[in-house]
Amino acid sequence: MIRNRRVMVGALATGLAVGALAGTGVPARSAAAADRSRLPAILQRLTTDDGAPGALLEVRDRNGRTVLTSGVGDVRTGTPVPRDSAFRIGSVTKPFVATVVLQLVGEHRVALDAPVERYLPGVIRGHGNDGRRITVRQLLQHTSGLPDYLDYVTPQDILKDPLAHHDLRQMVDVAIAHRRVFKPGRDWKYSNTNYLVAGLLIESVTGHPYGDEIRRRIIEPLGLTSTSAPVDDPALPAPHPRGYVRPGEGAPLMDVTELNPSVAGPGGGMVSSASDLGRFMGALLDGRLLRPAELREMMRTRPTGNADGRAYGLGLESRPLPCGGLYWGHTGDMLGFETVTGATAGGRQATVMVNLDPGGSDAQDADMETAVQTALCDAP
């Protein structure tokens, strides 16, 4: 959801306790083949140099799973990060939303290259934003040119009343009150507004809230017991770490665990666990959620311009692995938590979470990516 955490820290500034490293887990023969000797050190760096109170990493494949934790889940009590933690996943919500849209494509209820106007007549209008010229595919791939509503909803606005309800349609209207970023299809720019509109599209086509469709189509069939798409519920299910932001350099941590997720909605409002995200990514790449044709469309990527070789499909990113090949996944930033999840076509999944966002070091993002890549590689 929140892409520029450093800028956000500065904005918040204008308006801890670190536990010993602990490794727990279910031994896994194949998962253990990864360069495990590096993983504890990376997690420890996240909870020392990078400033996060706690971190969790789960690696799984068809033979088992391993869970590593570092630091604390609660700076007040000093309790460790629960190994089966639930947490806010931010933009990792987007692969769930894209999967539902692509299931509707497979059911011939949505056409990828049809204009958004067909499903949401009159909703996208003004300042060069035009639903008659933006396709469903362009929404899911961030090539619509729609401005990002989070450029106009500030962190101060959210934290001033963290339990406030935010209406999905009104957040879209906040975005399209501003000039489009580029002509649809001409460029790529990440915009959370695209997935707010995708959520509205799901509701228009099915007659049900997008969260209900995610639950019916993904959560329940896969048995994801720690995963939900809450509308207004500000609480996290137990067990969970506390979520923190650091309002400025050297400032004390602020607890933002209780937060109304409607401010993120289908762009980043879901809750899950590392274990559930591993199962979801495994099922997605195995073809258990999408037919082959729709999965191929999801994995048709375009470059994003990032130096790390990242490419974006339909709600799914690909990135090169240092050991060769690539992995599929997504990153997620939500007030209090940052998540990176990834999986390979060979059946290995890894998810890392820290309970600080924004407010970590400049290296926090890179260290989280390194943790996932190291876990997914068979060799250093």
Residues classed as catalytic: 91
CA atoms of 348 and 31, how far apart (whole Å): 8
CA atoms of 145 and 251, how far apart (whole Å): 36
SS3 assignment, position 158: helix
Which stretches of 36-176 are DSSP H helices?
39-46, 93-106, 136-141, 155-160, 168-176
Q: Are 182 and 210 in contact (CB under 8 A)?
A: no
Question: Which residues have C-beta within 8 Å of that of residue 83, sequence separation ≥ 6?
Answer: 24, 25, 56, 67, 69
CA atoms of 232 and 265, how far apart (whole Å): 9
Question: Considering only CA atoms, which of 93, 152, 135 is closest in space to residue 270?
Answer: 93
Question: Which residues have C-beta within 8 Å of that of residue 184, sequence separation ≥ 6?
Answer: 133, 134, 135, 138, 143, 144, 145
Q: Indicate the residue type of 277.
A: L
CA atoms of 179 and 217, how far apart (whole Å): 35
Sheet of 54-61: strand order equals 22-25, 64-71, 54-61, 349-354, 337-343, 326-334, 317-320, 311-312, 302-303
CA atoms of 118 and 141, how far apart (whole Å): 18
Question: Considering only CA atoms, which of 158, 197, 151, 173 is closest in space to residue 4?
Answer: 151
